[in-house]
Amino acid sequence: MRSRHSGDLSVIDGVAVLVGVVVGVGIFGFPPLVAQHADSGTLYIALWLAGGALMLVGALCYAELGASFPDEGGEYHYLRLAWGRRFGLMFAWARGTVIQTGAIAAVAFIYGDYAQRLMPLGDHGGTLHALLSVALLTTLNVCGTRESNRVQIALSSLTLVAVIGVMLAGLLSSGPSSPAAIEPREGGLGMLGMGMVFVLLTYGGWNETAYLSGELRNPARNMGRVLLLGTLLVTTLYLLTNLALLQIFGLQALSQSDAVGADLMEIVAGSWAAQGLSLLICFTALSTLNATILTGARVYYALGRDVPRLHRLAAWNERGSTPVRALLVQAAITLLLILFGALSHSGVQAMVAYTAPVFWFFMCMTALSLLRLRRLEPSAPRPFRVPWYPWLPLLFASSCLGLFVSSTLYAGPGALLGLLVLAFGLPLLLVRSPAAVSATSGVEP
């Protein structure tokens, strides 16, 4: 466990970090997929409201875990403490082979859709752009974290500009005079559940608030304020953006767009604005890709460190301060996933189907970890506690379970592939760690 230190972040700093982490390129890729699972504009907006509320509840749970058991490993650390080393290793396998690589591939597809608008490369141009982006950014990270961080700093400030630009352009313009009729959809709660999966992917990043609790001044008092204010800001921004999309497109046309930001700007201000926004979104997507590639490879490094059979993944390039083999393995899996996604109608949707069941299963288990660790570690210092315990953690865990069921039943063959890859990692549960590696605390199988 890392040592505790006095936090330096104020409430305003914490809110800025939360908003910066959550608001990402997903808002330019996932709204059409949400629209495909809603029967009306009212239900569409209700999904985004519910997503913001669930984000707040989940962030409260993660904040207690992060404040009580601070560690750079995040969920890997909490799951090890609560359910044992082997379950933690299973999560590391899932994150490395399904969750993280699927997320990288999904963002790469969003980048490819917009890059194809700027530089067409034929019928499969979007896929080619996606493949090139992963290959080039992995090469950049292999060269060293210093070079990668310079690029990250240069790209990271553009996302909010793009989101606010789309929001204002849509809200200040008039919508279609006669919106297309909405085709009837079937599926009931299952379809809504899949819609919520896409909404919460757009809100993705809120689980990073686990780390905020160790950096705030007086976290017991300020953590709740940061989460409430940050969630309200993000939810308001996303609600206004989606109202703008509905005003310009209507629900039916929105569900059919493959580059919703560029399509909106072309309607409102012409092709030059669409091209400009596409360029801006490409930069924000590259920023997200670079950060995800940089952090994701550390999961493979942890597997190589903790699992003797995978020790080669722990090779570290001291000169570049990078886990080179881990980066290359991550890139290889991601490129294969992009090729798999290219066979479907929507690469983004295929990657969501691949990752969602596994992601929500482990999210549910992380929520239950909070309940278990309250019992296993009653004397652990808890500078921040979830309010209305145990009802909020139970609400979040049950919501995650429902999303797991929805994504498993309605996501198609991609979901089956993700679960099969997870099953291939089951031998990790039988691997015994070397003597140098031991669980910090909690249960040990």
- Which residue pairs, CB below 8 angstroms and at least 24 apart, start in 314-322? 317/142, 317/144, 319/144, 320/142, 320/143, 320/144, 320/145, 321/144, 321/145, 321/146, 322/141, 322/142, 322/143, 322/144, 322/145, 322/297
pLDDT beyond 80 at 347: yes
Q: What is the DSSP string of 101-155?
A: HHHHHHHHHHHHHHHHHHS--STTHHHHHHHHHHHHHHHHHHH-HHHHHHHHHHH
pLDDT beyond 60 at 445: no
Tell whether omega for the bond before 413 is within 30 degrees of 0, i.e. cis: no
When the candidates are 3.30.70.360, 3.60.15.10, 1.20.1740.10, 3.40.50.300, the CATH number that belongs to 11-378+388-430 is 1.20.1740.10
3-state secondary structure of 265: helix
Please give the DSSP secondary-structure letter assigned to residue 180. Answer: P
* Averaged pLDDT score across all residues of the chain: 81
The torsion of the CA quartet 76, 352, 16, 78, rounded to 10 degrees, works out to -10
pLDDT beyond 80 at 297: no
Q: State the average pLDDT over residues 438-444.
A: 40
Which tokens belong to 38?
């809603």
- For residue 216, the cross-strand partners are 9
Q: Quick one: which H or E segment has residue 77?
A: helix 75-83
- List all residues 6 or more positions away from 411 whose beta carbon is below 8 Å from its beta carbon: 194, 352, 353, 356, 357
pLDDT in the model for residue 410:
74
pLDDT beyond 80 at 294: no
- List all residues 6 or more positions away from 103 whose beta carbon is below 8 Å from its beta carbon: 204, 292, 296, 351, 355
pLDDT beyond 90 at 360: yes
User: In this predicted model, which residue has the larger pLDDT, 295 or 38?
Assistant: 38
Q: Domain extents for the chain? A: 11-378+388-430
Which tokens belong to 48?
């985004």
pLDDT tier for residue 1 given thresholds of 50, 70 and 90: very low
pLDDT tier for residue 133 given thresholds of 50, 70 and 90: very high
Are the CB atoms for 277 and 162 separated by under 8 Å?
A: yes
pLDDT tier for residue 332 given thresholds of 50, 70 and 90: very high
pLDDT tier for residue 389 given thresholds of 50, 70 and 90: very high
Are the CB atoms for 191 and 185 separated by under 8 Å?
A: yes
- 62-71, 190-199, 214-223, 333-342: which range is least confident on average? 214-223
Cα–Cα distance list, 33 to 186, 255, 415 (Å): 15, 6, 16
pLDDT tier for residue 278 given thresholds of 50, 70 and 90: confident
